[in-house]
Structure formats: structure tokens, C-alpha cells
């Protein structure tokens, strides 16, 4: 059984979807813990209700980014994870942290990378007049939102969309692709070759 630790900062809807699908579909894995950098994150209560150990490592209680990263890594390593999943985790992680979990650290970003790395993706896509947007699951590298892409989902932009409506539509796509990507990982169906991800069964890595 592979052990998964999920990092969150807020609502935890991606975390919930992954935890529920893992249990319902009998993946060869279990969510060993959920860790938030914000003690008030709604997702911590959701994880507890699902019977998953839920804890906070508050970034505000650490003097530097490196000190926070080290405390976070200690908390994570107590659960000996095979995979660490960023699901709406909102703190940039340093190179030492990323290297420690290299090849077993996934993120979901609410844009079609390499477009719009960083924050406020929906606002920026609307300002750019994009007619299609989406979400990307990628392996995390030290350079923000630049790691090898596992799967992408495309979502339409409609006239009259605002950030809230667009975010909700993209979130629905996220809930389709993130469980799939995590399942592929724990089933050993992903290979990184020359910085690109190949799904070993030849399954489609885009959802339109
Ligand atoms: N860390 C590394 N090294 N590489 C990535 O690809 C990472 C990462 C940490 C988080 C998620 C992310 C995203 O999908 C992620 C990917 C936070 C920020 C940010 O600017 C940017 C990207 C992402 C998460 N955070 C501010 C900071 O100063 C704080 C913002 C806040 O607390 O609301 O860390 O886009
Ligand atoms: C998701 O839309 C995720 O893509 C985004 O935050 C939301 C978290 O929702 N992530 C980022 O913006 C990372 N910078 P959730 O807590 O309900 O899963």
C-alpha cells in the first residue's frame, strides 16, 4: 500500500475528492495524513471527518521560509509517504524541500500551464480574453509551476464569466483529473522521460 500525504491551505475540495476516490475505488494506497499551513483551513475538518489524521504546521510560527519548510518536512516524514500531493497549497516551497520529494511531489495548478504560472490565474485569463482555460497536474520542481505535466483538462470561458464562475468551472475539471493522476502514480503507471511524463498504458493525458 502506497502512503499519500496531502498538503492544503483552505477548502480542501481536491483533497476530499482524492481521499474519497482512493477509498471507494480500492486504490493500492491510503491517505496517511493531511497537513495545512493554516490551522483554520476548512479542509482539516473534512479530513478528520473522513478519519484521516489532520494537522497544521503554521507558517506564521516560523522565522524563515527555510525553517517552515524544515518543520513541514518533519511533519510529513512522520507519515513516511510514497507521494506528497499539493492540493490548493499556497506556500512556495524551497529547493531543498522540493528535492527531498523529487519525483513523488505533485501539484494541481488552475491554468493550462505554461500559461499563467503563479497566482490569480482566473483573473489573468479573463483579462487576456482567453476562450479556453483549464487545470494542470504536474510534478513539482524548484521552479514554480514548471515541472513535468501529468494531465491537463480544458474548460470553456463564456461571455459574462467572472472570476468566481470561472474558478468553479475549472475546479470541477480539477476534481476529474487530480484523482486520475494520483491513481496513475500509486499504480506505477507514470514515467518521467527527458522531463516529460508518459502514461504507460497510453491513456489520454488530456480531458476536453
Ligand atoms: N513550490 C515550488 N518550488 N514549485 C512549485 O511548482 C510549487 C511550489 C509551491 C506551491 C502551488 C502553486 C500553484 O499551483 C505550488 C507550486 C503559492 C504561490 C504563492 O505565490 C504560488 C504558486 C502556488 C502556490 N504563494 C505566496 C508565497 O509567498 C503566498 C500566497 C498566500 O499565502 O496566499 O508563498 O500555483
Ligand atoms: C484549486 O483551484 C487549486 O487549483 C488552486 O486552489 C484551489 C484549491 O481548492 N491552487 C492554487 O491556486 C495554487 N496556487 P481546494 O482547496 O478546494 O482544493
Give the tens place of pLDDT for each residue, 145-154.
999 999 999 9
Give the tens place of pLDDT for each residue, 13-29.
999 999 999 999 999 99
From the candidates 59, 109, 122, 138, which is the catalytic residue? Answer: 109
C-alpha 144 to ligand 2 mean position (Å): 15
Domains of the chain: 1-101 (3.40.50.170), 108-208 (3.40.50.170)
The CB of 179 under 6 Å from ligand 2? The reply is no
Q: Which long-range contacts (CB under 8 A, 24 or more apart) does 189-198 make?
A: 190/150, 192/103, 192/139, 192/148, 195/148, 196/148, 196/149, 197/139, 197/148, 197/149, 197/150
Ligand in closest contact with the CA of 100: 1
Residue 109 is a catalytic residue: yes
pTM: 0.98
Q: Which of 35, 38, 86, 110 to mutate to test the pocket of ligand 2 (most atoms within 8 A of CB)?
A: 110
Tens-of-pLDDT digits for all 208 residues of the chain?
Answer: 999 999 999 999 999 999 999 999 999 999 999 999 999 999 999 999 999 999 999 999 999 999 999 999 999 999 999 999 999 999 999 999 999 999 999 999 999 999 999 999 999 999 999 999 999 999 999 999 999 999 999 999 999 999 999 999 999 999 999 999 999 999 999 999 999 999 999 999 999 9
Amino acid at each position: 500500500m502506497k502512503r499519500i500525504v496531502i498538503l492544503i491551505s483552505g477548502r480542501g475540495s481536491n483533497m476530499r475528492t482524492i481521499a474519497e476516490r482512493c477509498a471507494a475505488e480500492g486504490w493500492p494506497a491510503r491517505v496517511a495524513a493531511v497537513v495545512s499551513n493554516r490551522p483554520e483551513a476548512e479542509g482539516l475538518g473534512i479530513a478528520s471527518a473522513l478519519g484521516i489524521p489532520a494537522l497544521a504546521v503554521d507558517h506564521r510560527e516560523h522565522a524563515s521560509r527555510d525553517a517552515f519548510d524544515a518543520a513541514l518536512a518533519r511533519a510529513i516524514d512522520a507519515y513516511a509517504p510514497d507521494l506528497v500531493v499539493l492540493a490548493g497549497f499556497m506556500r512556495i516551497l524551497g529547493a531543498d524541500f522540493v528535492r527531498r520529494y523529487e519525483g513523488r511531489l505533485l501539484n494541481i495548478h488552475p491554468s493550462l500551464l505554461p500559461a499563467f504560472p503563479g497566482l490569480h490565474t482566473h483573473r489573468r485569463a479573463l483579462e487576456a480574453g482567453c476562450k479556453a482555460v483549464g487545470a494542470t497536474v504536474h510534478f513539482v520542481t524548484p521552479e514554480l509551476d514548471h515541472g513535468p505535466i501529468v494531465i491537463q483538462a480544458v474548460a470553456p470561458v463564456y461571455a459574462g464569466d467572472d472570476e468566481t464562475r470561472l474558478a468553479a468551472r475549472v475546479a470541477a475539471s480539477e476534481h476529474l483529473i487530480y484523482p486520475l493522476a494520483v491513481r496513475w502514480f500509486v499504480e506505477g503507471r507514470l514515467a518521467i522521460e527527458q522531463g516529460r511524463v508518459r502514461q504507460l498504458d497510453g491513456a489520454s493525458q488530456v480531458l476536453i
